A and B are shown apart, each in its own frame.
Chain A
Amino acid sequence: MARVGHAPVDDDLHRRRWAVLLRPVLVLPALALLLALVVLAVVAAVLGWFASLVRGRMPLGLRNAGAFAVGYGGRVARYGLLATDRYPDSGPGHAAAPRMHPIAIRVRDDLGRPRLVVAFRPLLAVPHLYWLVLWSVPALLAAVAAWVAALVIGRVPAPLHRFLAAFVRAVAHVSAFLHVVGRPYPGFVGREGGYPIDLTIAGPARQRRLGVLARIVLAGPALLLAAAYALVGLIVALLAWIAALVSGRAPSGLRDLGVSSIRYQAQTASYLLLLTPRYPNSSPALDPSGAGEEADG
């Protein structure tokens, strides 16, 4: 790829006429996704501003979130302005993990999506959604019990940890199905290894009591970013649903971005529910092996 100034450009000047004719329409999905990523980048920037003021250092994950949105914006602009014929890749890419996060996501997915299961996917998830609402009641009670226990003994008892981990995992599985990120119909019990888009959740670790006491307050910024990631996930789901309905496959870029969104939300939930003392990793980049995730919030 050549460069004009600092901007990378395609050497290939050949353009497919039908793609050029339809470009104003074809660029719309990418623009919708860009809009969601801009929201993500703005939230990351605001949080990064505070963090930089306090620590004198921009958190790596927040920097990467903003950089990814800017990079995607550039790809969309190049495509929209006919600088390239290549559709913008929405994949968040991979980055080596300096430190493994205790809440990691594994992807074992072939991208195939049978149209019948795609067409009715939001409705097929309805029983799961009702089930998760029911499950959330004991999960909330368990979280309160875990909070009290962690304040007293400095860690979450293993049975409570297992119960809450299964809940977070079940939510991730259903979320992956609903967002067309995962292929099969998920189970109801959040079993580890039970879904191609799966969370590995490390066992209970010691937690500082002050951090436990203030967990809800500390989780505030992560919840803000999780909301932005949820918006990204929603757009990903809509676009992937349409793409899979047409082609019978989920685009890999969208799938990976969906995985990032689910992972961040799962890490936030895990932090809030005291499954880990580690702050969520806000970078959208995935671990190259799928066995662990980039750390440093």
Chain B
Amino acid sequence: MSAATSRRAAVYASLAVAWVVAAWLLARSVVPRDLELPAVDVDAVFGSGFVARAERYERFLYVNWALSQVAVLGTLAVYARRGARLARESAAGPIGTGMLLGMLGIALAWLAGLPFSVLALWWDRRHGLSRVAYVDVVLGGWLSLAGAFLALTLGLVVVMCLARWLGSWWWLPAALALGSIAAVLVFAEPYLATGLQPPSDQRLEQSYERLARAEGVDGVTLRVQKVSGDTSQANAYAFGLGPSRRIVVWDTLLDGRFADGEVDVVLAHELGHQASHHIAKAIGWFVLFALPAALVVMLVTRRRGGMGDPASVPLALLVVALLALAAMPAQNVVSRRMESEADWKALETTRDPTAARGLFRELAVTSLGDPSPPTWAYVAFATHPTLAQRVAMADAWAQREGR
């Protein structure tokens, strides 16, 4: 073994150890390790008629998603073979040409997926879950590509500059640099978001402040997003970083379908994300996933001259799309772990498992969500624990507390 190979092996081994340690640190959770979720009779809790309807609804979406992936990956595969020819449409030098090829690849992938987005919207409208106009999917999707283009070109500039500078070691600093860019974007996102209003309901504000105090969260603003014109589904989310942290609830959660206690569980859940620093941890996970992904991209694109050459960009897009697809189950495990922790914190804060059960039942109804999807779908798509698992966690918490 040559000295260079030994050095390389030592670097890879050190990185692997660091990766495992970082993953272990990021994966820590307050959910008791010995927590056993009791079995939930899904038909009894959610109603057998509803469960059958939800299964039918989601089955179509699974097929639609699978077909869209075939279309998008097929398009990117063709683009990986032929896309480099479009370099002649650029007068922008190697990095600018790489940016053009990257953006055109994303645009083609969007075009390939567009019919399936329209189909998914048709299905949602048919089930009364969406009121979004078809033209909004097309025009809104087209316009939203601007943001994707900007993020992509920023990433490509970093990757291509590093590749031209560092050769085959670009992937290591690139993963860290991409993580930094992600952190900046996550930080800036709340300041760029539009249509978020301060809550007009005094009870909501008082509950929020009480729950935030209980979870030890300070300086996180609550906002309400008006979505009732577009959808009947209810949702909430936490975003931002440091001083830009926000919690947003959709106005559909506040339209009277959910009891006050159920809304409190949602607020406590989102505060749980902020209290547990899940957004910062998600950026950490992004870097951990980006490291091996960048290494694979480096290895695959070497034969085309590496990422410093714009001709490699179409192939890199295909590789990234395939890796993203392959990493989905692992990313879902991470996401579900964070969501479980937020659920547990919500139970600890509200101490109201009845409201939590009611919330999860109502969420199933308003989003037509299958409470217990097939295992393969759970592994592939579920970013949250199933609604049945969430009900089971509320039951488990009640049992532990002797309620």
Q: Please list the residues of chain A having a beta carbon within 8 angstroms of any beta carbon in chain B.
A: 114, 116-117, 119-120, 123-124, 126-127, 130, 173, 183-188, 194-196
Q: Please list the residues of chain B having a beta carbon within 8 angstroms of any beta carbon in chain A.
A: 86, 88-93, 96-97, 99-100, 103-104, 107-108, 142-143, 145-146, 149-150, 153
Q: Which residues of chain B are within 8 angstroms of A116 by Cβ–Cβ distance? A: 86, 104, 107-108
Q: Complex formed: what's the CA distance from A130 to B147 in Å? A: 12
Question: Which of B88, B96, B97, B146 touches A126 (beta carbons < 8 Å)?
Answer: B146
Q: A117-B104, A123-B103, A130-B150 are in contact. Are A186 and B91 (CB under 8 A)?
A: yes
Q: Complex formed: what's the CA distance from A59 to B92 in Å? A: 39
Q: Quick one: closest A residue to B143, CB to CB?
A: A123
Cβ contact within 8 Å between A184 and B89: yes
Q: Complex formed: what's the CA distance from A223 to B91 in Å? A: 30
Cβ contact within 8 Å between A185 and B90: yes
Q: Which residues of chain A are within 8 angstroms of B143 by Cβ–Cβ distance? A: 123
Q: Complex formed: what's the CA distance from A219 to B86 in Å? A: 41
Q: Complex formed: what's the CA distance from A230 to B143 in Å? A: 23
Q: Which residues of chain B are within 8 angstroms of A123 by Cβ–Cβ distance? A: 103, 107, 142-143, 145-146, 149
Q: Which residues of chain A are within 8 angstroms of B100 by Cβ–Cβ distance? A: 124, 185
Cβ contact within 8 Å between A124 and B91: no
Cβ contact within 8 Å between A124 and B103: yes
Question: Which of B86, B92, B146 touches A186 (beta carbons < 8 Å)?
Answer: B92
Cβ contact within 8 Å between B96 and A187: yes
Q: Complex formed: what's the CA distance from A116 to B314 in Å? A: 15
Q: Quick one: closest A residue to B93, CB to CB?
A: A187
Q: Which residues of chain A are within 8 angstroms of B145 by Cβ–Cβ distance? A: 120, 123
Q: A123-B149, A126-B146 are in contact. Are A183 and B96 (CB under 8 A)?
A: no
Q: Which residues of chain A are within 8 angstroms of B149 by Cβ–Cβ distance? A: 123-124, 126-127
Q: Which residues of chain B are within 8 angstroms of A114 by Cβ–Cβ distance? A: 86, 89
State how many angstroms separate the Cβ of A258 from the closest Cβ of chain B: 17
Cβ contact within 8 Å between A196 and B91: yes
Q: Do most interface residues of chain B lie in helix, strand or loop, or is the interface mixed?
A: helix
Cβ contact within 8 Å between B89 and A183: yes
Q: Complex formed: what's the CA distance from A184 to B93 in Å? A: 11
Cβ contact within 8 Å between B104 and A120: yes
Can you offer 17 A-B residue contacts whose CB atoms are under 8 A?
A116-B104, A119-B107, A123-B107, A123-B142, A123-B149, A124-B104, A126-B150, A127-B99, A127-B153, A183-B89, A184-B90, A185-B90, A185-B97, A186-B91, A187-B91, A187-B92, A196-B91
Q: Complex formed: what's the CA distance from A203 to B124 in Å? A: 63
Cβ contact within 8 Å between B107 and A120: yes
Q: Which residues of chain B are within 8 angstroms of A195 by Cβ–Cβ distance? A: 91
State how many angstroms separate the Cβ of B91 from the closest Cβ of chain A: 4
9 more contacts with CB within 8 A, not counting A116-B107, A183-B89, are A117-B86, A123-B142, A123-B146, A124-B100, A126-B146, A184-B88, A185-B92, A187-B93, A188-B96
Q: Complex formed: what's the CA distance from A179 to B287 in Å? A: 39
Q: Which residues of chain A are within 8 angstroms of B89 by Cβ–Cβ distance? A: 114, 117, 183-185
Q: Which residues of chain A are within 8 angstroms of B104 by Cβ–Cβ distance? A: 116-117, 120, 124
Q: Which residues of chain B are within 8 angstroms of A120 by Cβ–Cβ distance? A: 103-104, 107, 145
Cβ contact within 8 Å between B91 and A185: yes
Q: Which residues of chain A are within 8 angstroms of B92 by Cβ–Cβ distance? A: 184-188
Q: Complex formed: what's the CA distance from A49 to B143 in Å? A: 44
Q: Complex formed: what's the CA distance from A196 to B90 in Å? A: 11
Q: Which residues of chain B are within 8 angstroms of A119 by Cβ–Cβ distance? A: 107
Q: Complex formed: what's the CA distance from A186 to B143 in Å? A: 21
Q: Complex formed: what's the CA distance from A119 to B114 in Å? A: 15
State how many angstroms separate the Cβ of B108 from the closest Cβ of chain A: 7
Q: Complex formed: what's the CA distance from A26 to B91 in Å? A: 35
Q: Which residues of chain A are within 8 angstroms of B90 by Cβ–Cβ distance? A: 184-185
Q: Complex formed: what's the CA distance from A194 to B90 in Å? A: 10
Query: Could you say which of A119, A120, A183 has the most chain B C-beta atoms within 10 Å of its C-beta?
Result: A120
Q: Complex formed: what's the CA distance from A226 to B21 in Å? A: 61
Q: Complex formed: what's the CA distance from A196 to B92 in Å? A: 12
Q: Which residues of chain A are within 8 angstroms of B91 by Cβ–Cβ distance? A: 173, 184-187, 194-196
Q: Complex formed: what's the CA distance from A124 to B146 in Å? A: 8
Q: Which residues of chain A are within 8 angstroms of B107 by Cβ–Cβ distance? A: 116, 119-120, 123
Q: Complex formed: what's the CA distance from A32 to B103 in Å? A: 31
Q: Complex formed: what's the CA distance from A126 to B151 in Å? A: 11
Q: Which residues of chain A are within 8 angstroms of B96 by Cβ–Cβ distance? A: 185-188
